Amino acid sequence: MSDHLPDWIGSEGNPPNFGDPTAVLEPEPYEVVSRSDDEMVLSMGPQHPSTHGVLQVVLGIDGETVKRAEPEIGYLHTGIEKSAENLFWNQSLTVIDRMDYLAPLTNNFAFCRGVEKLLGITGQVPRRAQQIRVMMAEMTRITSHCIWLGTHAIDLGAISPFFFTVDLRENILDLIEAASGARMNMTYFRVGGINGDLPEGFLERLDEVIAKFPRRMRDLRDLLQKNPIWTDREVGVGVISAEDAVAWGLTGPSLRASGVAYDLRKIEPYSTYEEYEFDVPTRTEGDCYARFLVRLDEMEESMRIIEQVRKNLEPGPIMVNEPAVALPPKPSIGLSMESLIHHFKLVSEGFRVPAGDVYGAVEGPRGEIGYYIVSNGENRPWRVRTRPPSFYNLQALRKIAAGNLIADVVVMIGSLDPVFGEVDR
């Protein structure tokens, strides 16, 4: 008798009691698996490694084919909009960072632009601040796409791209950290400008990253773009036509992969975007492979913009010259009583924003991120409504998934690039 078997095997006694085998188990309140006539309902998530967060997708499947997919969201709802209504205008930037935690600076960007419109200081934001904002937003776009590409590749079974992308992201995050002081949730932008100027030696380190970038992108393209396993999984999967993409509210790379060249940086240029030469990558296929290619091209276009900003970066102030909004310069606080009082009032009470409502949007990595901001003339926003691109992009999964294979649901979720901090807010 071998010793690693349980004692009761081969012994005279009865096996241990595992419960009444004839008892009927009560079904769980939420049915995990159920059958109707010719449709099997399968619940995927919310604890699933390939859903990029806490997403549950209730799939109606017939054999291997998905007949309907119903994403269930709300597992990460944290009430950020409610929190923002109870903070000062500049303080609410800190919670707004936490929506799209992979691209916090574009959230800041959109919110700041909305508040600046309400204050009527859009044109007064200094040129250097605008340029640094553009540079940081494009860096954020690359870092966000890096995470998207790495995790998307892991979903499809390719581990190595993750190391390449995270290495690139690390280099860029080091730069962002040097400028803003944080790697995530930077809150680098302020209403009226940015928090602090670029540190010494920043541009030299940026040059190193710019020099390294083409090689990294070539590696990534070599690894994936013509890889037959990759193309087999991506080409022709999750197709959405241009008409449907517009109707379902898709924006950003997902819309451009369907052929509609809608990019706020080009069609409504803001913050000196009109000065830079860059293309808007567009494909017409509308499948996962098109979305993949559009994002890859976008990373290269972002780097083109960063290079041009770096070349044209002008010295100058980084905060609007508007004492009602901007803190006084730090050295003046020790010298002048008025500056000290002014500083204290701005920090302890914040500034007031004229009453009115406004919609400010920028092109984020996932699409049009906009803020509908209502002010009633106080030092806190009355209402901050986010237009979350991930929310609408993910909703389109209901349209895209039908008719595809069950194994491709993961590919389609990855290609829509949802971030659940933003979907649930």
Partner 1 sequence: MQPRSTKTTSTVVDPTAVRPPIDDVDEIIRTTPAEMRDVLTRLKAQGFSQLTDVGGADYLRRSPRFDVVYHLTALPTRVASIAEVGKPKRVRVLCGVDEGVSVPTVYDLWPSANWAEREVFDLFGIAFSGHPDLRRIEMPDDWEGHPLRKDYPVRGPARDRTPRPPFPGKENVGSRIPPTREAAERLRREINERLHHDDHQTSEEKS
Determine, following the binding rule CB under 8 A, whether residue 376 of this chain makes contact with partner 1: yes
Binding residues for partner 1, total number by CB under 8 A: 61
Least distance CB 211 / partner 1 (angstroms):
30
Cα–Cα dist 347/117, whole Å: 22
Site for partner 1 in 111-130 (CB under 8 A): 114, 117-118, 120, 122
> Within 10 A of 335 (CB to CB), how many other CB atoms are there?
10
Among 222, 378, 402, 403, the residue binding partner 1 under the rule CB under 8 A is 378
- Other CB atoms closer than 10 Å to residue 181's CB: what's the count? 13
Answer yes or no whether residue 335 interacts with partner 1 by CB under 8 A: no
Reported in sequence order, the residue ranges of 52-118 that DSSP labels E, i.e. its strands, are 56-62, 65-72
Closer CB to partner 1, 67 or 399, in the complex: 399
Residue found by looking up tokens 């553009």 in the block = 134
Nearest to 370 by CA among 69, 99, 169: 99
Is residue 99 near partner 1 by the rule CB under 8 A? no
DSSP state of 284: S
Asked whether the beta carbons of 117 and 194 are under 8 A apart, the reply is: no
Query: What's the number of CA atoms in the CB half-sphere (13 Å) around residue 262?
Result: 16
Q: Which one among 49, 181, 349, 402 touches partner 1, defined by CB under 8 A?
A: 349
Q: Are 52 and 80 in contact (CB under 8 A)?
A: no
Q: Interaction with partner 1 in 248-277: which residues (CB under 8 A)?
A: 248-249, 251, 258-263, 266-268
**Which 40-69 positions form the footprint of partner 1 (CB under 8 A)?**
none
Residue 372, helix vs strand vs coil: strand
CA 422 to chain centroid:
7
Interacting residues with partner 1 between 305 and 334 (CB under 8 A): none
The distance of closest approach from Cβ of residue 247 to partner 1 in the complex, given in angstroms and rounded to an integer, is 6
**Residues of the shown chain interacting with partner 1 in the complex, contacts defined by CB under 8 A:** 73-74, 77, 79, 81-83, 86, 114, 117-118, 120, 122, 242-243, 246-249, 251, 258-263, 266-268, 280, 282, 284, 348-349, 352, 354-360, 368, 370, 372, 374-378, 382-383, 385, 387, 391-392, 395-396, 399, 424-425
